[in-house]
């Protein structure tokens, strides 16, 4: 069989178009962002879509790589299960990077979101996650990826088996790979014994404080990490419900609800956000902060970055 020059050209163009299409779809799901310049912290942009007649916020969140609590907090006036047909839904794809080294994997438990900094790319990827319940807290600290497994086998710990038994749902000692395995299709094991980053067989829990301490992810997200994150990559887990940072001469704050189980002393301390903002201002002269907007952000705690001052060119103290 032979092809004319024009047929080969048409096939080449078709392959290129399909490749670009899949690249766009994959990139959109993965949420790959260019790293902001030094001294800046804001990535992404807020997006808005119109809810259809059959939509729920859960489905919209899953389709747009947003966690459950995250999309509810960003849309306080929208019914979670029956949003009004034609109503506007905020997709909170604008983020302040956590206050942590921009390397490896950084997990901010407070916002139930992961940030991955692929080495040498000048990019950051962001994914929603589930974290541990208040009685099974996800541990804070620094560890690393020790190994990766496709189709993992689950070995429930004694405490997990005891809890299930008390609830009338006894577990076997070994749960093989398959649709009944709560680890999903991929797992990344950490240097912290019994704690993993993994998929799930129940994606409706993504973005909630519901696990036994592990971090669950949507299927496309954990697959991407499995394929791209090298063994040995550092993993830093922090708890930062308050974040503040700059973008193009504007100061932003981002506030998330405190996690369940947070000591009341933190819940009632109204000065923590003020102190953080003042820390971000320490290197600049006379930036006019709107402190009323800062307090509004603290009260709303919707997880959406809010500008708390005008666009200016801050004058660095070092100049």
Q: Which residue has the tokens 């939509």?
A: 55
Q: Is 214 a catalytic residue?
A: yes
Please pick, among 93, 198, 212, 256, the residue that the annotation labels catalytic. Answer: 198
Burial (0-12, 13-18, 19+ Cβ within 10 Å), 220: middle
Query: Cα separation of 318 and 70, whole Å?
Result: 38
Query: Cα separation of 148 and 230, whole Å?
Result: 9
Query: Cα separation of 126 and 27, whole Å?
Result: 11
Q: How far is CA 27 from CA 20, 38, 138, in A?
A: 10, 24, 29
Residue whose C-alpha is closest to residue 57's, from 81, 88, 87: 81
Q: Which residue has the tokens 């040498």?
A: 120
Kindly give, in sequence order, each residue whose CB lies less than 8 Å from that of residue 151, ignoring residues fewer than 6 positions away.
177, 185
Q: What is the DSSP letter of 99?
A: S
CA 113 to chain centroid, in Å, comes to: 2
Query: Cα separation of 252 and 120, whole Å?
Result: 27
Please pick, among 93, 212, 214, 256, the residue that the annotation labels catalytic. Answer: 214
Number of Cβ atoms within 10 Å of the Cβ of 121: 12
Query: What amino acid positions are annotated as catalytic residues?
Result: 198, 214
């Amino acid at each position: 069989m032979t092809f004319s020059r024009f047929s080969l050209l048409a096939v080449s163009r078709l392959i290129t178009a399909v490749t670009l299409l899949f690249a766009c779809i994959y990139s959109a799901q993965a949420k790959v962002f260019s790293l902001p310049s030094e001294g800046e912290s804001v990535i992404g942009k807020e997006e808005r879509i119109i809810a259809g007649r059959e939509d729920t916020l859960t489905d919209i969140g899953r389709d747009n790589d947003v966690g459950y609590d995250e999309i509810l907090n960003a849309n306080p006036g929208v019914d979670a299960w029956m949003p009004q047909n034609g109503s506007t839904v905020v997709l909170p794809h604008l983020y302040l990077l956590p206050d942590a080294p921009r390397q490896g994997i950084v997990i901010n438990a407070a916002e139930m979101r992961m940030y991955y900094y692929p080495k040498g790319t000048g990019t950051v990827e962001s994914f929603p996650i589930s974290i541990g319940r208040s009685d099974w807290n996800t541990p804070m600290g620094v560890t690393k990826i020790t190994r990766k497994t496709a189709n993992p086998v689950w070995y429930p710990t004694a405490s997990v088996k005891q809890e299930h038994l008390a609830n009338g749902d006894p577990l076997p000692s070994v749960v093989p790979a398959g649709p009944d395995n709560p680890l999903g299709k991929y797992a990344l094991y950490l240097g912290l014994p019994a704690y993993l980053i993994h998929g799930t067989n129940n994606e409706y829990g993504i973005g909630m404080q519901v696990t036994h301490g592990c971090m669950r992810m949507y299927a496309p997200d954990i697959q991407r990490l499995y394929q791209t994150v090298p063994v040995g990559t550092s993993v830093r887990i922090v708890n930062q419900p308050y974040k503040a940072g700059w973008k193009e001469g504007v100061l932003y704050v981002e506030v998330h609800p405190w996690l369940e189980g947070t000591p009341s002393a933190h819940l009632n301390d109204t000065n923590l956000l003020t102190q953080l903002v003042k820390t971000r201002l320490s290197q600049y002269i006379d930036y006019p902060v709107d402190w009323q907007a800062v307090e509004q952000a603290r009260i709303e705690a919707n997880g959406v970055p809010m500008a708390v001052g005008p666009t200016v060119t801050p004058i660095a103290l070092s100049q």
